[in-house]
Structure 1
Amino acid sequence: MTAAPDILCIGSVLWDIIGRSAATLRLGSDVPGRITRLPGGVAMNIAMTLRRFGFTPALLTAMGRDPEGQELLAACARMGMVTDHIYLSDDLPTDRYMAVEGANGLIAAIADAHSLEAAGDKILRPLSEGRLGPWRGPVALDGNLTEALLAEIAQSPLFADADLRVAPASPGKAERLTPLLHSPRATLYVNLEEAGLLCLTRFASAPEAAGALVARGAARVLVTDGGRACADGGPDGVLTAIPPQVLVTRVTGAGDTFMAAHIAAETGGADRAQALEQALRAAADYVSGDIGS
């Protein structure tokens, strides 16, 4: 019997193909390293971290009925996630993400999430048909969805009582979050570059960016900036904290880990400062390789 979920993770669940090298990489570098293939995607990364904190996430996403999709579906189920509500397509392939990381960080990445985009609001049928909705708990939502679908979610009565926690997926998709910028139910999780894209400017620090996003109408926003100060901005002002200093061995998925740990802390009753500290510690452990992918 499938367990009842306590949080929805809506967005990309795909195969991550990550090449990592200990060398500093430049354009055209050809170096030894390791290539891994693991379940990934923003929604999946968040769900995996939430599982470590004892949550039972339900995945709302799209997968193909191809061999890659069947393998991915089985992997999600083995990790204890609720997979009953995933949209399975006969004609769309399972999505993939490819990245190259070196000692100098993320070099390049390509997200092939076209099947998720093509599926559109089909992934929300479990809510519209009453199997899961209207949903009144926390929702982790990622910007791999189309801007039209994100705008629909921002206005939908299916999410009227939901606690929306939103990530842009990447700087290239940050502007898709614009429809949610003024939602009173949405908490945005962005990095410094993404904050600048949403405000059509550049910021020197996370606290500055958090203050500007709140001034633009965001109900609440968390802004990260790598190893520099991060900020939690809201109606009670801007709270800042410094991430622990660690040796960085990987970066893909760090922001998703931060977001999931923050959701887990606040859902468990932590105050703003405690939640921020837990999120920063979880992200630091992740990038240093102290916890699993």
Structure 2
Amino acid sequence: MGRGSGQDGGMSEQTDILCIGSVLWDVIGRAPSPMRHGSDVPGRITRLPGGVAMNIAMALGRFGLRPRVLTAIGRDVEGEELIAACERLGVDTQLAYRSEDLPTDVYMAVEGTNGLIAAIADAHSLEAAGSKILQPLTGGVLGSVERPYAGRVALDGNLTPALLEEIAVSAAFAAADLRVAPASPGKAERLLPFLRHPRAMLYVNLEEAGLLCQQVFDTSEAAAVGLVSRGAARALVTDGGRSASDASAAGVISACPPEVLVTRVTGAGDTFMAAHMAAEISGMPHEAALNRALQAAATYVAGEPPA
């Protein structure tokens, strides 16, 4: 299993994956019927720990790994409740940046049986904290410029474009196995600094791949190959219920997800990414890891307990 190579060996030895990005409250309204613009229907509203980095961390924990998050969480009531919830879920928040002045971030979404209807992500505190969340990787706790962290890193696109650019060229990340995902299609172009990064793997959907390549793709295979042709070391492209593809200079493989009844969508891509990382950490070859991740994502969207 991957480990950090920071100066505090005891702390870094307790982490299999370092998840960097948004950890916040997900407020999700779900209706048991299709919805359209202006719909006013009965349903359920839940508040759960979320954010791309947190969703990945929670899923990694379900696969038996030990995730740690680098993020910004306020010292308000919502932040204290979030820290407690993370602890119950087995996600290590010891190195999170805790601000007295910044409120805890929140994501709000409305979903019907026809998918995501609308969402608003308020990650302003994460953006305002900026490079302060990376202090453990630059100040010696987990690593430094002189002794870069050599473990696996899941990085999400909720960070500012400037901070993502900084990470892409930072010596502190030069030895890391970087797995990068946008938070949404609207933030896909924030990943451009990693398009030619020699140690980065991109996890994107078909729309996000098109935005990064500035063209429209009809299939995940064409999109994954397109990303590699533009310089990506490795790219994994999903396309909802259609086939997903994993491409590198060695070639491309594709697989179709199982057909399931969709009951939720928020967090599905993060579950897919976590399952794929966990499968590769366990030693699965690329094709088996892709199929394992597709099965895990299908189980998630069907609302079933994780396997």
Bin of the TM-score, shorter chain as denominator length: over 0.9
Structure 2 residue aligned with 1:211, among 210, 213, 225? 225
- Structure 2: distance between partners of 1:205 and 1:89: 43
Matches within 5 A, 1:99-178: 99-133=109-143, 134-178=148-192
Q: 2:58–2:90: 8 Å Cα contact kept in structure 1?
A: no
Partner of residue 86, structure 1: 96
Equivalent position SS for 2:208: helix
Long gaps (5+) in structure 2: 1-9
Deviating beyond 3 angstroms after TM superposition, the runs of 4 or more aligned structure 1 residues are none
1:85-139, Cα deviation, whole Å (9 max, x unpaired):
0000010000000000001110011100010000000000011111011211110
Distance 2:152 2:298 in 1: 24
In 2, Cα distance between the equivalents of 1:291 and 1:209?
Answer: 31
The DSSP-based 3-state class of the residue aligned with 1:111 is strand
Whether the 8 Å contact between 2:60 and 2:275 is mirrored in structure 1 is yes
TM-score w.r.t. length of structure 1: 0.98
- Could you tell me which of 42, 50, 73 is aligned with 1:63? 73
CA separation in 2, counterparts of 1:236 and 1:41? 33
Alignment TM-score, normalising by the size of structure 2: 0.93
- Residue in structure 2 matched with residue 288 of structure 1 by the alignment: 302
Aligned to 1:11: 21
Tell me the amino acid that sits aligned with residue 126 of structure 1.
Answer: P
Deviation of 1:291 (Å): 2.4
Tell whether 2:83 aligns with 1:73: yes
Query: Which residue of 1 is the match for residue 270 of structure 2?
Result: 256
Q: Does 1:230 align with 2:240?
A: no
Counterpart selection for 2:280 from 262, 266, 269:
266
SS state at 2:158 partner: coil
Offset of 1:167 from its aligned partner? 0.4
- Alpha-carbon RMSD: 1.1
Question: Residue by residue, what CA displacement relative to the aligned partner does 1:222-269 show, whole Å, maximum 9, x if unpaired?
Answer: 000000011001011110000011111000000000000000011111
Which of 246, 249, 259 does residue 260 from structure 2 map onto? Answer: 246
Amino acid at match of 1:64: G
- Provide the identity percentage: 69
Q: Which amino acid aligns with 1:217?
A: G
The 5-angstrom pairing of residues 172-187 of structure 1 reads 172-187=186-201
Distance 1:8 1:119 in 2: 18
Q: Deviations over 1:186-222 (max 9, x none)?
A: 0000000000110111111100101111000000000
Q: 1:191 aligns with which of 205, 208, 221?
A: 205
Question: How far apart are 1:166 and its partner, in Å?
Answer: 0.4
8 Å contact kept, 2:18–2:154: yes
* Higher mean displacement: 158-167 or 2-11: 2-11
CA–CA distance in 1 between the matches of 2:193 and 2:185?
16
Letter in 1 for 2:225: G
Gaps of 5+ in 1: none
